[in-house]
Amino acid sequence: MSLFIYAFKRFIFSIPIVVLISILCFGIIQLPPGDYADAYAALAASTGGGTVSKEYIDQLRERYGLDQPFWVQYWKWVKGFPSGDFGIAMSLQGTPVVDLLKERLPMTLFLNFSALIFALMIALPIGLYSATHKYSILDYILTLIAFIGIAIPGFILAVLIIAISIFYFDSAYIGRLYSNEFIGKEWNYDKIIDFLKHLPVPIIAIGIAQTSNTMRIMRGNMLDVLKQPFIQTARSKGLSENAVNWKHAARIAINPIISRIGVYLPEIIATEMLVSIVLNLNTIGPLFYDSLISQDMYLAGTILLVISASVSHDLIKRVYYPEISEKGELIAARISAFFAVCIAGYFGINPPGFVAAVVALAFGLAAASFFPAIVMGIFYKQMNKQGAIAGMLVGISLMVYYMLKFKFNFFGGGSADDYWFGISPEGFGSVAMVVNFVISYIVMKFTSPTPEKIKKIVDNIRIPEHE
Q: Which of 2-16, 49-63, 234-248, 345-359 has the lowest mean pLDDT?
A: 345-359
Report if residue 434 sits inside a domain: yes
Residues 6+ apart with CB under 8 A from 292: 29, 300, 348
* Cα 378 to the center of its chain, rounded Å: 25
On whether both 194 and 327 belong to a single domain, the answer is: no
Total domain count for the chain? 3
Report if residue 277 sits inside a domain: no
The most confident of 16-25, 88-97, 141-150, 265-274, by mean pLDDT: 141-150
> What is the per-residue pLDDT for 311?
43
Average pLDDT of the residues of the chain = 75
- Indicate the pLDDT class of residue 171, thresholds 50, 70 and 90: low
Q: Which residue has the higher pLDDT, 67 or 350?
A: 67
Long-range pairs for 135-144 at CB < 8 Å and ≥24 separation? 140/379, 142/215, 143/216, 144/379
In the chain, the N- to C-terminal Cα span, in Å, equals 41
**In the predicted model, is pLDDT for residue 130 greater than 80?**
yes
Residue 242's domain comprises: 100-269
| CB 158 within 8 Å of CB 201 | yes
| CB 447 within 8 Å of CB 387 | yes
> What is the per-residue pLDDT for 312?
39
Q: Which of 78-92, 315-329, 384-398 has the lowest mean pLDDT?
A: 315-329
Report if residue 162 sits inside a domain: yes
Q: Which residue has the higher pLDDT, 105 or 6?
A: 105
> Rounded mean pLDDT of 87-91?
80
On whether both 29 and 138 belong to a single domain, the answer is: no
**In the predicted model, is pLDDT for residue 4 greater than 50?**
yes
> What is the per-residue pLDDT for 198?
84
On whether both 121 and 260 belong to a single domain, the answer is: yes
Report if residue 139 sits inside a domain: yes
Closest CA to 395 of 416, 423, 366, 420: 366
> Rounded mean pLDDT of 432-439?
89
- Indicate the pLDDT class of residue 7, thresholds 50, 70 and 90: low
Give the whole-number percent of the chain exceeding pLDDT 70: 76
> What is the per-residue pLDDT for 467?
39
Question: Which residues lie across from 95 on neighbouring strands?
Answer: 89
Q: What is the pLDDT of residues 244-300, one digit of tens each?
A: 888 888 888 888 787 677 666 667 777 787 788 877 788 888 887 777 777 777 777
Q: Which of 5-14, 58-67, 111-120, 157-166 has the lowest mean pLDDT?
A: 5-14
* Cα 140 to the center of its chain, rounded Å: 26
On whether both 31 and 173 belong to a single domain, the answer is: no
**In the predicted model, is pLDDT for residue 319 greater than 50?**
no
Report if residue 291 sits inside a domain: no
CA distance 301 to 25: 5
> What is the per-residue pLDDT for 124?
87
**In the predicted model, is pLDDT for residue 74 greater than 50?**
yes
DSSP string, 357-423: HHHHHHHHHHHHHHHHHHHHHHH-TT--HHHHHHHHHHHHHHHHHHHHHHHS--TT---GGG-GGG-
DSSP string, 176-227: SSS-GGGTTPPP-HHHHHHHHHHSHHHHHHHHHHHHHHHHHHHHHHHHHHTT
On whether both 141 and 231 belong to a single domain, the answer is: yes
> Rounded mean pLDDT of 39-43?
78
CA distance 296 to 290: 8
**Continuous H helices in 249-384:** 250-253, 255-259, 261-279, 284-293, 297-308, 314, 326-349, 352-379
> What is the per-residue pLDDT for 106?
84
At position 63, the amino acid (one-letter code) is R
Residues 6+ apart with CB under 8 A from 188: none
Q: What is the pLDDT of residues 184-199, one digit of tens each?
A: 778 888 888 888 888 8
| CB 51 within 8 Å of CB 38 | no
> What is the per-residue pLDDT for 168?
63
On whether both 139 and 260 belong to a single domain, the answer is: yes
Run of H or E including 89:
strand 88-89
Report if residue 91 sits inside a domain: yes
On whether both 130 and 218 belong to a single domain, the answer is: yes
> Rounded mean pLDDT of 393-418?
82
On whether both 129 and 251 belong to a single domain, the answer is: yes
Domain-terminating residue out of 216, 251, 269: 269
**In the predicted model, is pLDDT for residue 370 greater than 80?**
no
CA distance 361 to 340: 22
> Rounded mean pLDDT of 425-446?
86
Report if residue 278 sits inside a domain: no
On whether both 147 and 209 belong to a single domain, the answer is: yes
> What is the per-residue pLDDT for 192?
85
Give the whole-number percent of the chain exceeding pLDDT 90: 0
Report if residue 262 sits inside a domain: yes
| CB 176 within 8 Å of CB 198 | yes
Closest CA to 330 of 3, 4, 9: 9
**What's the CATH code of the domain at 223?**
1.10.3720
On whether both 191 and 145 belong to a single domain, the answer is: yes
Residues 6+ apart with CB under 8 A from 227: 466
**In the predicted model, is pLDDT for residue 376 greater than 50?**
yes
Domain-terminating residue out of 251, 269, 287: 269
On whether both 450 and 362 belong to a single domain, the answer is: yes
Q: Which residue has the higher pLDDT, 15 or 217?
A: 217
On whether both 331 and 344 belong to a single domain, the answer is: yes
Domain-terminating residue out of 330, 350, 370: 350
CA distance 133 to 341: 45
